[in-house]
Amino acid sequence: MEWESVIGLEVHVSLSTKSKLFSGTASEFGAEPNTQANIFDLALPGTLPAFNEEALKMAVRFGVAIGAEIGTRSVFDRKNYFYPDLPKGYQVTQLDFPTVGKGSLTITLEDGSEKVIGVTRAHIEENAGKSLHEEFSGQSGIDLNRAGEPLLEIVSEPEITNAEEAVAYLKKLHSIVRYLDISDAIMAQGSMRCDVNVSIRPKGETELGTRTEIKNINSFRFVEKAIHSEILRQQEVIEDGGEIIQETRRYDANKDVTTSMRSKEVANDYRYFPEPDLLPVVIDESFIASIKSELPELPDTKKARFMDEFALSSYDAGVLTATREMAEYFEEVAKSCGDAKLAANWVTGDLLALLNKNDIDITDSPIQAQRLSTLIGRIKDNTISGKIAKTVFESMIDDSADVDEIIENKGLKQVTDTGEIEKLVDEVISNNPDQVQQLKDGKEQVLGFLVGQAMKLSQGKANPGQVNQLLREKTKQ
Amino acid sequence: MIEKTAAELSQALSSGEISSVELTQSYLDRINKYNEELNAFITVCEESALAQAKAADEKRANGDASPLLGIPLAHKDIFCTNGVTTTCGSRMLHNFVAPYDATVVENFSAAGAVMLGKTNMDEFAMGSSNETSFFGPVKNPWDTTRVPGGSSGGSAAAVAADLCAMATGTDTGGSIRQPAAFCGITGFKPSYGRVSRWGMIAFASSLDQAGPLSKSAEDAALMTNVMAGLDKKDSTSIDKAVEDYTATLNDSLDGLRIGIPKQHFAEGLTAEVEQGIRDALSEYEKLGATVTEVDLPNNHLSVSAYYVVAPAEASANLSRYDGVRYGYRCENPVDLEDMYKRTRSEGFGDEVKRRILVGTYALSAGYYDAYYRKAQKIRRLIKNDFVEAFREVDVIIGPTSPHTAFELGAKTDPVTMYLEDIYTIAVNLAGLPGISIPAGIANGLPLGMHIVGKDFGEAKILNVAHQFQQHTDWHKQKPNFGQED
């Protein structure tokens, strides 16, 4: 039987507010356990929440960016369950009246096609703390640094049909929240986390199958693999005559399988009710309008502009706008060297390869935008050839010297002296009488070979344009 | 001197008739002598009280004339006090020392009042007789075989027996007003949001409100002046200017329109309490007020709605007592679940557990609409009843409780106990201010009159209460207890 899968994602991003959602405590990543927890975070008796409006602004910014309905009156609710890293015994979240309602975002797939994925809602909630089981023999430690940090939980419609789309959706979300500067969204550090809901059904069927939820996946790659393996598992279960149980599962990356979680979450009645310690959050149109007016250029708009302004292909523009930092880097190079096409080639080519190979973020690139721009400038003014430029580029990684200095020191400057080039050309002609004859007979392709020979002789330094021209002149009938 | 009101003591202090240290010592002596029998205090802060008194005397010498400077008070043990145990009347917090002061505590400190100690209360403020306290019941100074009312029973008994000049309390369904009525003192619950709840241990967040227990309406006004105000740490506190509640105490009541709810003068009300309130109303008529009947048609639903909303909120508010971070933890738990179960089974008393169960049930999947949502709807109906009634009248007056103080151990059935607050609960559900003042003595026990005002009508009901006290002396009646001095 042919199957199709239906996938929905619940993505938590930590909002990068200066302080926690309700307590005013700072929330830096990586601080000593329990050094960022005040009396409210510890849920001491008598303490009360005070809502951090910065989190509201960030949530609304996200909502506006994905064209969502904004809840003008959002209500916090208590979600009740017992767990040692949940100090109050309830999590404050938004159930019926989230700050962000229905919206959507557009993903681009590998074949270049686009698809719109609906976002059901995005609500503000507080993070729990962390239980530490390893360090304490027979006991558990609790770290409440994270407790009360603001999260935005973004829930997609079940409109994703495979792992590739899921990853594209996640990457798009990642890109948007970073463009908006509302979250670091670093999956490895937990500031972006993903729960995946997966179900399968016979192809063409309209009713949804029973879904499972895979919790807390912390990398794009694992999301992809977890979905693949869960789809396969569900197919096997059903094809073996079994039934899918609605449950929470965990992805084991070592074994590349999902396993059932005996979870605190399972079969829990959370007994939601409106949080009486907080008033409903009421915002008006002017609040939304002011946030809209402060919105930065977002990836889709930027991509369109790059295609239009710099005549880039959809693919290149997509790559170059994937992150705000990448786009800023590219734009600086393009504007400064005056050749967007070359700039795009260099950034998407050599530079990206270098960064990927060494797992470096573009903001930490060993070659800053200005230097790359200078390098491209030297190609354009014929100081070096494109090929030599690659050698210079390699040197620039470890050598922070001026681009011109590197070219000079390594003697890579292009030979443009007509006399010298004439010598090279003469040598090539005398060494390759057969090919010269073929060229004279009109076999144009041979010209490339002869130019190549001349370049080889010059160790790449000869100006290929000049070589080309001279060869033509000298082999004319 | 110890029997005087705070306003009178303030004069004595400023005239130099007595010092705060002497006054404080007198109360401490009385506490030492009588607390064992009354059990009104859980913690007495002898040393720090005297130090605060000394500081107050110095401030006064330097020209500080704040009205409550140097006046000894007691805080209900529900308010967190930095460095002093805050038990909330529970085994769960028998050893809990807060590292911070409640806003109410901070405000009284700033006003220069002297904290004598922390008063006994029903566990987590759940009770109407002060019998649910882990630290044992409080006795009513008018008759020590009787209850002082609850949950602020320790504060009420302490004020009535002159173990302090004034005290703080909290009122979720009548917990200030009913004990004030039973102990023959003045007890005032301001509008919801008027006094910050920061540092006040939560029972039912949408109903809890702090207020004064005092020897006169004037003292209640002085205390409210100190307690009231916006607090950014409590999101439900109201951003509304605080009036000087003493400024309008002497306004004339000529033309005052008093409403009496027919539902409060119906079955269940004892004849002696009814007579006391009717006499009080005649007194008001003499002062120029008119009395008309008003209808609160949904009043009969208030106790039921309350016992859904309050336990529901409590069930979540009390989840933090899990033995993980502070307070009671059971001995040798074998695992997490065992720790939770035994900590909470052993740490909470029966009434608290009962309400947690009721609240948990009311919020459960499948029952939420039938209970919690419906109760919230009733709450709106009750509020509307008051809004309608207040179109015709300025204040609503009735009995605080259907009867006078009952005997210790007399009410063993929870529902009978819940009906104790039948006249006061609706006021919490509607968020309105209400005051109970002494309005008579029946069979040797005080009875309380309940005056309810409009939203943020604090000044008006304090004025109405004060005028009554200017023309009657029920509030000056003292129990025989401790009179041999």
3-class DSSP assignment, residue A215: strand
Instruction: Please tell me the predicted confidence (pLDDT) of residue A267.
Output: 62
Asked if A90's CB is within 8 angstroms of B319's CB, the reply is yes
B371 phi/psi in degrees, rounded to 5: -110, -70
Nearest CA distance, A276 vs chain B (angstrom)? 6
Position A263 pLDDT exceeds 70:
no
Domain count, chain B: 1
DSSP B84: B
Instruction: Please tell me the predicted confidence (pLDDT) of residue A463.
Output: 82
What Cα–Cα distance (Å) separates residue B443 from each residue in A41, B183, B276, B440? Answer: 52, 14, 12, 10
Residue among A39, A50, A273 whose CB faces B363 most closely: A273
Instruction: Please tell me the predicted confidence (pLDDT) of residue A467.
Output: 86
The residue extents of the domains of chain A are: 3-289, 297-409, 418-475
CB A387 within 8 A of CB A435: no
Instruction: Please tell me the predicted confidence (pLDDT) of residue B252.
Output: 98
Position A264 pLDDT exceeds 50:
no
Residue B328 token pair: 């009671």
3-class DSSP assignment, residue A456: helix
B370: left (phi over 0), alpha (psi -120 to 50) or beta: alpha
Question: Residue A74 corresponds to which amino acid?
Answer: S
Round to whole Å and give the CA distance between A405 and A410. 8
pTM of this prediction? 0.91
| pLDDT tens readout for residues A147-173 | 999 999 999 999 999 999 999 999 999
Which positions of B are annotated as active-site residues? 76, 151, 175
Round to whole Å and give the CA distance between A290 and A53. 14
Biggest distance spanned by C-alpha atoms of chain B: 70
Instruction: Please tell me the predicted confidence (pLDDT) of residue A470.
Output: 85
Fold of A418-475: Arc Repressor Mutant, subunit A (1.10.10)
Note whether residue B107 is domain-resident: yes
Partners of A121 in the beta sheet? A155
Note whether residue B204 is domain-resident: yes
Instruction: Please tell me the predicted confidence (pLDDT) of residue A261.
Output: 83
Burial class for B61, CB neighbours closer than 10 Å (0-12, 13-18, 19+): exposed
Round to whole Å and give the CA distance between A228 and A217. 13
ipTM of the complex: 0.96
| pLDDT tens readout for residues A71-112 | 999 999 999 999 999 999 999 999 999 999 999 999 989 888
Instruction: Please tell me the predicted confidence (pLDDT) of residue A63.
Output: 98
Q: What is the CATH number of the domain that holds B60?
A: 3.90.1300.10
Note whether residue B252 is domain-resident: yes
Note whether residue B188 is domain-resident: yes
Round to whole Å and give the CA distance between B109 and A240. 74
Residues of chain B in contact with residue A271, where contact means CB-CB under 8 angstroms, are: 315-316, 360, 363-365, 368
A334 phi/psi in degrees, rounded to 5: -60, -45
Round to whole Å and give the CA distance between A79 and A425. 81
A80 in contact with B at a CB cutoff of 8 Å?
A: yes
CB B188 within 8 A of CB B203: no
Note whether residue B467 is domain-resident: yes
Asked if A276's CB is within 8 angstroms of B313's CB, the reply is yes
Note whether residue B33 is domain-resident: yes
Question: Which DSSP string corresponds to A359-416?
Answer: T--GGG-SS-HHHHHHHHHHHHTTSS-HHHHHHHHHHHHH--S-HHHHHHHTT-PPB-
Q: What is the dihedral of CA A181, A186, A191, A195, to 10 degrees?
A: 120
Cβ neighbours, 10 Å, residue A452? 13
What Cα–Cα distance (Å) separates residue B410 from each residue in B129, B178, B297, B401, B424? Answer: 10, 17, 31, 16, 21
Asked if B99's CB is within 8 angstroms of A39's CB, the reply is yes
A87 in contact with B at a CB cutoff of 8 Å?
A: yes
Interface contacts A/B by beta carbons within 8 Å? 101
Rg (CA), chain A: 29
Note whether residue B279 is domain-resident: no
Asked if B88's CB is within 8 angstroms of A45's CB, the reply is yes
Asked if A276's CB is within 8 angstroms of B236's CB, the reply is yes
DSSP B477: -
> What residue ranges of chain B have pLDDT lower than 70?
485
Nearest CA distance, A30 vs chain B (angstrom)? 22
- Could you tell me which of B132, B210, B129, B200 has the C-alpha nearest to residue B170? B210
Residue B271 token pair: 């004849």
Nearest CA distance, A349 vs chain B (angstrom)? 54
Chain B residue closest to A51 (CA)?
A: B235
CB A265 within 8 A of CB A237: no
Domain that includes residue B181, residue range: 6-256+454-476
Position A262 pLDDT exceeds 70:
no
